[in-house]
Chain A
Amino acid sequence: MGDIGSFAVQSQELRQEGQEWHTRKQAVQGAHDLADNGVGKGYMFGYLANVAHLGEYHDHFVSAITEAFADGVKTFDYMSAALESAANAYDGVDSTAAESADHLKNRLPR
Chain B
Amino acid sequence: MTDITDWDQFAEEVQKRCQDVFDKVWDELNRMANVLNDAASHFDWVGVLFPIPKLIWDGLTSDDVERAIDKFNNEIRPQLEKKAQEVVDDITKVVGTLAGDPPGLKKLSFDYASCREKLVYPTPSIQSEIQQLGKSWKGEAYAAYSLAAGEQVKAMSDAALGMERAADMTNKGAAKILQLWVDLNDKLIGGIVDLAKLLSDATTVDKILSFEIPVVISAIGDLIEFVQAIAKTLEDYWIGVGFQDQLDWIKLNNGATGLAHNTWPVIHPGEVDDISNPHDWGVVA
Interface string of A15-34 (1 = CB under 8 A from B): 00100100010011011001
Q: Contact between B249 and A10 (Cβ–Cβ < 8 Å)?
A: no
Q: Interface residues of A: mostly helix, strand, loop or mixed? A: helix
B window 142-165: CB within 8 A of A: 145, 148-149, 152-153, 155-156, 159, 162-163
Min CB distance A44 to B, Å, is 4
Q: Cβ of A54: which chain B residues have Cβ within 8 Å of it?
A: 173, 241, 245-246, 249
- Expressed in whole angstroms, the Cα–Cα distance for A60 and B249 within the complex equals 10
- CB of B57 closer than 8 Å to a CB of A: no
- CB of A93 closer than 8 Å to a CB of B: no
Q: Cβ of A38: which chain B residues have Cβ within 8 Å of it?
A: 108, 111-112, 166, 170
Q: Interface residues of B: mostly helix, strand, loop or mixed? A: helix
- Expressed in whole angstroms, the Cα–Cα distance for A51 and B98 within the complex equals 10
Q: Chain A contact residues (Cβ within 8 angstroms of B): what range?
A: 35 or more
- Expressed in whole angstroms, the Cα–Cα distance for A20 and B266 within the complex equals 19
- Expressed in whole angstroms, the Cα–Cα distance for A75 and B264 within the complex equals 9
Among A10, A47, A68, A105, which residue has its beta carbon within 8 angstroms of that of B259? A68
Q: Contact between A65 and B262 (Cβ–Cβ < 8 Å)?
A: yes
Among B136, B156, B246, B281, which residue has its beta carbon within 8 angstroms of that of A13? B136
Min CB distance A59 to B, Å, is 9
- For A37, give the chain B residue with the smallest CB separation: B111
Q: Cβ of A31: which chain B residues have Cβ within 8 Å of it?
A: 115, 118-119, 159, 163
- CB of B97 closer than 8 Å to a CB of A: yes
- CB of B278 closer than 8 Å to a CB of A: yes
Among A48, A58, A61, which residue has its beta carbon within 8 angstroms of that of B177? A48
- Expressed in whole angstroms, the Cα–Cα distance for A82 and B144 within the complex equals 12
Q: Cβ of B114: which chain A residues have Cβ within 8 Å of it?
A: 34
Interface string of B248-285 (1 = CB under 8 A from A): 01101101001100111111000011011111010111
Q: How many A-B residue pairs have CB under 8 A?
A: 202
A window 41-66: CB within 8 A of B: 41, 43-54, 57-58, 60-62, 64-65
Q: Contact between A62 and B166 (Cβ–Cβ < 8 Å)?
A: yes
Min CB distance A73 to B, Å, is 9
Q: Contact between B283 and A7 (Cβ–Cβ < 8 Å)?
A: yes
Q: Cβ of A104: which chain B residues have Cβ within 8 Å of it?
A: 272, 275-276
Q: Cβ of A51: which chain B residues have Cβ within 8 Å of it?
A: 234, 237-238, 241-242
Give B contacts to A, CB under 8 Å: 7, 97-102, 104-105, 107-108, 111-112, 114-115, 118-119, 121, 129, 132-133, 135-139, 141, 145, 148-149, 152-153, 155-156, 159, 162-163, 166, 170, 173, 176-177, 180, 234, 237-238, 241-242, 245-246, 249-250, 252-253, 255, 258-259, 262-267, 272-273, 275-279, 281, 283-285
- Between A and B, 23 residue pairs with Cβ closer than 8 Å are A13-B136, A24-B156, A27-B118, A28-B118, A30-B118, A34-B114, A38-B108, A41-B108, A44-B101, A44-B102, A45-B173, A48-B173, A58-B170, A58-B249, A61-B166, A65-B163, A65-B166, A71-B263, A72-B264, A75-B265, A79-B145, A82-B145, A104-B275
